[in-house]
Structure 1
Amino acid sequence: MFTCVMNRTQKGAELRDVMVESIGSLMDADDRVLALEADLGDASRFTRLAKTHPGKLIQCGISEANMVGVAAGLSSEGFHPFLHTFGPFATRRCFDQIFLSGAYAKNTLTIYGSDPGFCVGTNGGTHTTWEDMALMRSIPGALVCDPADEVQLRWLVSAVAQRDGISYIRANRKAVRNLYEQGSTFELGRANCLRTGDDVLLVAEGQLVSDALDAAEELSAAGIGCTVLDMFCIKPLDEAAILEHAENKRLVVTFENHGVIGGMGEAVAAVMAEHALPARLVRMGVHERFGQVGNPDWLQAAYGLTATDVVRTVKEALA
């Protein structure tokens, strides 16, 4: 189904361009597909859809809750709306509208919350979300995904277009390192095992999967074998993969660009506790902190979310 690229140092296309191109392709094939923006059309490149697909982009202004209400109304009339704004505004600011007008009313909304966590960069703390997955995971029936690269994102947009209900995609706007070969396919709710090792299970999501692989390579050179799972679909979670690959491991580490409360690590912890898995669990994410201003690379290091941090964490835990 999927193949990893040999050279992961190269970056692919900007993810916002991939999103726009993918939505445009859906619009070509289905008149029901519409796009909605909250005054970030230049940042997301959604304004291109107004030129390539006239009448298909609705600019709602800086009124995210209203945008969700408009989208819910369109869904009730048979349309499939794709919404974009930055992650905190796509979730925290309009959670009640998504929950009631969207999910409770059985409407279909696909939400692109861009620049999660450290990806926000110089937009700073007001635009930082460490809690978007926690919110969206709590919605009954919602799909919550964090694609690792442009190939997975392109596949994901096509896949969610086939489902009803709430779908939340969190992803950088900018280019990230390539992970998968072009044409790779995936399965919603199923993790991808990218390498195997006997000592440690690393469960990562989003663009941090590439960093997890970097860490696994360094640990392997030190005699510590690591299995790496790409848990791009956080809800529904691939519990079977966790049970299979955590068995007989000395350590399980979850690695996410999100707060440790309510994120992927907490979901993995619940599975391990319910099945009484003996391996120790360490959750790598953000602990009780707000966002701040800085470039993404600096922020990633400041919050302890680099491959170097994984290597150190694993060695300390095993020691």
Structure 2
Amino acid sequence: MTKKRLTTSAMIASFAEEGQRTTAAPFGHALSGLAAQRDEIVGLTADLGKYTDMHIFAESFPARYYQMGMAEQLLFGAAAGMAEVGLVPFASTYSVFATRRAYDSLCLDIAEPGLNVNIVGGLPGLTTGYGPSHQATEDLAILRGVPGLTIVDPCDSVDIEQAVPALADSAGPTYLRLLRGKVPTVLDEYDYRFELGKAAELRSGGDVVLVSSGLMTMRALDAAQKLAEHRVDTAVVHCPTIKPLDTETILRVADSGRMLATLENHSVVGGLAESVASTLVTNNATRGVVPIGLPDEFLAAGALPTLHDRYGLSTDRIVKRVLEELG
């Protein structure tokens, strides 16, 4: 049997499975919908309107759209100034540029004065095959230490559509890990509603609990179905807000004899896994956590399906890892 060759465009690659339901540009449409209701909403980008779905907003509200060019520090400085005078800016760029290149501006211009600036980071984690220059595999580790910064890692189009107005209503700075283009639509099947700072148990199970964020929640749900074929009863808890983490829910689901694993589209260093482990230790609920995420290394370039399988983010690799841990 000839194995199907896995290929995707490296820059605008989609992690959606073949035949999966998707929604086009949910962030751009959600922001435009919000702006139609609130005159203070403005959009900015650093030469990446098309690649962060900000072009949808630009077409609807050209007078409230600002193209700052390839100058991420300027992007954040301008957004801070707008917030100072009562506007509510959404500033989009790639996550690698928001974190590595413009960290000082984000920290001192936006976070230190506690301004309502909403940073939208494209290509988070392993969502492009362009290699380390564009793969933001450590953005959560960099930003979790910024005081007062809210961090959201949405699973799908439903999460994004509901998160945008919630972030605008949040008083301080926020960082949204953007899923762009044709984004899978999954959570509408689970009676789910996004609530800032809250996790949601999407599926119950008595043997294993998978605590996940971002696109890994849809992989966790798929893995749970496949694990059922091995008679493994698996719960899935989605954590769309990385900071502040829903400590109450984490402690509740950890208070059992079930195997506990975290799933994240991020390095196993400094992201969801370490946040969950820290929560357990600081609340005297010490127990083991199996971290499923990207390795602590710079990743290769290539087709997304191939890379996800290579680095352990594919559904089959998740199932294999859980079965190995169960022994």
Same fold (TM over 0.5): yes
In the other structure, the counterpart of 1:316 is: 324
Pair 52,250 (structure 1): closer, same or farther in 2 beyond 3 Å: closer
In the other structure, the counterpart of 2:46 is: 38
CA offsets, 1:148-182, max 9 Å, x none?
A: 11011100001111111111110221324321228
In the other structure, the counterpart of 1:168 is: 175
RMSD: 1.9
Residue type of the partner of 2:20? Q
In structure 2, which of residues 134, 150, 153 is the aligned counterpart of residue 143 of structure 1? 150
What's the secondary structure of 1:299's corresponding residue? helix
What's the secondary structure of 2:33's corresponding residue? helix
What's the secondary structure of 2:209's corresponding residue? strand
After TM superposition, the structure 1 stretch with the greater mean CA deviation from structure 2, 18-27 or 96-105, is 18-27
Q: Report deviation, 1:141.
A: 1.3
The yes-or-no answer on 1:245 pairing with 2:246 is no
Q: Distance in 2 between matches of 1:213 and 1:46?
A: 30
CA offsets, 1:293-313, max 9 Å, x none?
A: 212212211211112122111
Q: Which runs of 4+ in 1 moved over 6 A?
A: none
- Retained in 2: the 8 A contact 1:8–1:178? no
- Retained in 1: the 8 A contact 2:114–2:148? no
- Retained in 1: the 8 A contact 2:53–2:180? no
Q: Report deviation, 1:136.
A: 1.8
The yes-or-no answer on 1:77 pairing with 2:102 is no
After TM superposition, the structure 1 stretch with the greater mean CA deviation from structure 2, 62-71 or 210-219, is 210-219
- Retained in 1: the 8 A contact 2:30–2:161? yes
What's the secondary structure of 1:127's corresponding residue? coil
Q: Distance in 2 between matches of 1:52 and 1:292?
A: 38
The yes-or-no answer on 1:204 pairing with 2:212 is yes
The yes-or-no answer on 1:260 pairing with 2:268 is yes
Q: Distance in 2 between matches of 1:278 and 1:66?
A: 44
- Retained in 2: the 8 A contact 1:84–1:113? yes
In the other structure, the counterpart of 2:21 is: 11
- Retained in 2: the 8 A contact 1:189–1:233? yes
In the other structure, the counterpart of 2:163 is: 156
- Retained in 2: the 8 A contact 1:171–1:206? no
Q: Distance in 1 between matches of 2:308 and 2:213?
A: 14
- Retained in 2: the 8 A contact 1:250–1:279? no
The yes-or-no answer on 1:105 pairing with 2:123 is no
Residue type of the partner of 1:286? L
Q: Report deviation, 1:79.
A: 0.8
In the other structure, the counterpart of 1:4 is: none
Q: Distance in 1 between matches of 2:281 and 2:320?
A: 25
Q: Distance in 2 between matches of 1:180 and 1:8?
A: 18
Kindly, what percent of the aligned residue pairs are identical?
A: 34
Q: Distance in 1 between matches of 2:114 and 2:159?
A: 27
What's the secondary structure of 2:114's corresponding residue? coil
CA offsets, 1:273-308, max 9 Å, x none?
A: 223435421111122211332122122112111121
- Retained in 1: the 8 A contact 2:44–2:89? yes
What's the secondary structure of 1:253's corresponding residue? strand
Q: Unaligned stretches of 5+ in structure 2?
A: 1-16
Q: Report deviation, 1:8.
A: 11
Q: Distance in 1 between matches of 2:164 and 2:297?
A: 31
CA offsets, 1:129-161, max 9 Å, x none?
A: 111111221111111111111011100001111
In the other structure, the counterpart of 1:227 is: 235
Residue type of the partner of 2:225? E
- Retained in 2: the 8 A contact 1:248–1:279? no
Q: Number of paired residues?
A: 310
- Retained in 1: the 8 A contact 2:26–2:183? no
